[in-house]
Amino acid sequence: MGIFDYAPAPESRAIVDIKPSYELFIGGEFVPATGGAFKSVNPATGEALAEIAEASAPDVDRAVAAARQAYESVWSRTPGTERAKYLFRIARIIQERARELAVLESIDNGKPIRETRDVDVPLVAAHFFHYAGWADKLEFAGYGPNPRALGVAAQVIPWNFPLLMLAWKIAPALACGNTVVLKPAETTPLTALLFAEICQQAELPAGVVNIVTGAGETGAALVAHPGVDKVAFTGSTAVGRQIARTVAGSDKKLTLELGGKAANIVFDDAPIDQAVEGIIDSIFFNQGQVCCAGSRLLVQESIQDELLDALRRRMGTLRLGDPLDKNTDIGAINSAEQLARITELTAAGEAEGAERWSPPCELPVNGFWFAPTIFTNVSATHRIAREEIFGPVLSVLTFRTPDEAIAKANNTPYGLSAGVWTEKGSRILSMARRLRAGVVWANTFNKFDPTSPFGGYKESGYGREGGLHGLEAYLDV
């Protein structure tokens, strides 16, 4: 160890108690599944963490029935003031158990403790706190004097922000008076199951929140169930499309938050050091496994060399390794399947003629890892410039004029997010207006807040999560 190297600084995992096996959470109780079981794996080591119950279609049916029962007999009759207090309670318990949740999330997902501790879990608590306050103020939201709940919400969430996506789904649903059946991703169910315990601790009425674990089949059974009034999904565009077909012709209200291929545009007058930090956040936050990741860097031609030199230098300082180490910047890729996808797409990038670069970076032997990577000499037709990689891989393209930057940025079927870096205010505003994306970060990137609506244009889905706009998804308006 050299004098400037870091000593290991692992967060203790003693705070979490991972059980050998987990059941479904239906009607306020943990109950066995009839669909068998699967294993959740620690992606940083490849070791199995626990056996997770797999919900079959009859299990999903039971969960929906429990949610319906709770909706009809309890939750729809619970005044907003009381719903608010339950949500405030949940927010407080999340804050109280924040470290436990952060450690468990890092273990199950592979993301660095620095992120779960400083970003994911604080935002989860904030989200519940925000929507708690809405529960008794819905008539002021602009949807008329007495906006009504929809009923039972079916919610399917991804593995990249397991607990945060749970919060984005459950908090507004409950605030608006719905009950929910939520299916976490099959690779990251543990924090959702801990959240079920938090619901018990908060004495949330039985059946208001139900959690069914399983893979795609469980999710498909849930969204297709005739007893649900609302479907909310975050995940891939391919699955979102399938869900849209499934609910077609029904009365189910649908919101979808899907893939992205965001452009992060850097003009020649941008503050280079800040832009480099922004680029690092945009593509290496959560190992790039972020739907709104700035996976296409559009740099103005005149500063390309200067910017890329600075970016490469900064990438050389990123620390990849144990997600529970407090100094880790880049954790593990969530699954072998996702690692295979990233590997395949980056191989295609090289085969199509783009130039690949990664800093010297030793990868752990066990688990699923991918070094931070940039591609230069990327053309708009390359797969790595068009397809969502969902990994720590940045494709660099160049432009000369604002018009060219807009044309390239919008040249994608996605429209979730975009970034702009320039010191010129009028240019920021004109770029922000012309970018066809639901979230535009100007001189910043990957910022989230419960009051700030998030969601896509075009094939990145529809509906918004967060703030006043996020209520609409769970109200009959």
As measured in angstroms, the least distance from the Cβ of 233 to another protein is: 12
Rg over alpha carbons for the chain, rounded to the nearest Å, is 22
- Residue among 184 and 461 whose Cβ is closer to another protein: 461
As measured in angstroms, the least distance from the Cβ of 269 to another protein is: 15
Q: Does 458 bind another protein (CB under 8 A)?
A: yes
Backbone phi and psi for residue 426, each to the nearest 5 degrees, phi listed first: -65, -30
Residue 53 and residue 309: Cα distance in Å, rounded?
49
| Total site size for another protein, rule CB under 8 A | 42
Q: Does 468 bind another protein (CB under 8 A)?
A: yes
393 DSSP β-pair partners: 373
As measured in angstroms, the least distance from the Cβ of 221 to another protein is: 19
Return the residues of window 283-302 that contact another protein according to CB under 8 A. Answer: none
Return the residue of 76, 95, 440, 476 that touches another protein, per CB under 8 A: 440
Q: Does 230 bind another protein (CB under 8 A)?
A: no
Concerning whether 291 is annotated as a catalytic residue, the answer is: yes
| Chain length of the chain | 477
As measured in angstroms, the least distance from the Cβ of 237 to another protein is: 7
Return the residue of 112, 438, 474, 475 that touches another protein, per CB under 8 A: 438
Q: Does 251 bind another protein (CB under 8 A)?
A: yes
Return the residues of window 115-144 that contact another protein according to CB under 8 A. Answer: 126, 142
Q: Does 451 bind another protein (CB under 8 A)?
A: yes
Return the residue of 27, 133, 364, 453 that touches another protein, per CB under 8 A: 453
Return the residue of 135, 153, 258, 265 that touches another protein, per CB under 8 A: 258
- Show the binding pattern over residues 180-219: x = contacts another protein (CB under 8 A), - = does not: ----------------------------------------
Concerning whether 423 is annotated as a catalytic residue, the answer is: no
* 357 burial level (CB within 10 Å; 0-12, 13-18, 19+): middle
- Residue among 200 and 444 whose Cβ is closer to another protein: 444
Residue 371 and residue 362: Cα distance in Å, rounded?
8
Return the residue of 76, 377, 411, 444 that touches another protein, per CB under 8 A: 444
Name the active-site residue from 54, 291, 465, 472. 291
CA dihedral sign, ordered 25, 31, 33, 34:
negative
Q: Which among 417, 375, 401, 423 has a CA at the least distance from the CA of 274? A: 423
- Residue among 26 and 247 whose Cβ is closer to another protein: 247
122-137 burial: b if 16+ Cβ within 10 Å, else e: bbbbbbbbbbbebbbe
Q: Does 98 bind another protein (CB under 8 A)?
A: no
- Show the binding pattern over residues 395-434: x = contacts another protein (CB under 8 A), - = does not: ------------------x--------------x---x--
The answer to whether residues 33 and 51 touch, using CB atoms and an 8 Å cutoff, is no
Return the residue of 241, 314, 326, 427 that touches another protein, per CB under 8 A: 241
Return the residue of 455, 471, 473, 475 that touches another protein, per CB under 8 A: 455
As measured in angstroms, the least distance from the Cβ of 436 to another protein is: 8
- Residue among 27 and 227 whose Cβ is closer to another protein: 227
- In the structure encoding, which two tokens stand for residue 365, read together? 């032997």
Residue 53 and residue 34: Cα distance in Å, rounded?
8
* 116 burial level (CB within 10 Å; 0-12, 13-18, 19+): buried
Q: What angle do CA 366, 38, 159 make, to 5 degrees?
A: 65
Q: Does 459 bind another protein (CB under 8 A)?
A: yes
Distances (CA, A) of 183 to 51, 330, 381: 16, 27, 36
As measured in angstroms, the least distance from the Cβ of 95 to another protein is: 14
Tally of CA atoms within 13 A in the half-sphere of 316 that contains its CB: 7
For 190, the enclosing helix (H) or strand (E) is helix 190-201
Amino acid at 116: T
Residue 261 and residue 192: Cα distance in Å, rounded?
28
For the chain, the first-to-last Cα distance in angstroms comes to 62
Residue 391 and residue 369: Cα distance in Å, rounded?
10
- Residue among 361 and 432 whose Cβ is closer to another protein: 432
Q: Which among 101, 169, 76 has a CA at the least distance from the CA of 131? A: 169
For 307, the enclosing helix (H) or strand (E) is helix 304-315
The answer to whether residues 171 and 158 touch, using CB atoms and an 8 Å cutoff, is no
- Residue among 41 and 164 whose Cβ is closer to another protein: 164
Name the active-site residue from 257, 388, 459, 472. 257
Q: Does 229 bind another protein (CB under 8 A)?
A: no
Residues that bind another protein (CB under 8 A): 126, 142, 237, 240-242, 244-245, 248-249, 251, 256, 258, 413, 428, 432, 437-444, 447, 449, 451-455, 457-462, 464, 467-469, 477
Catalytic residues: 257, 291
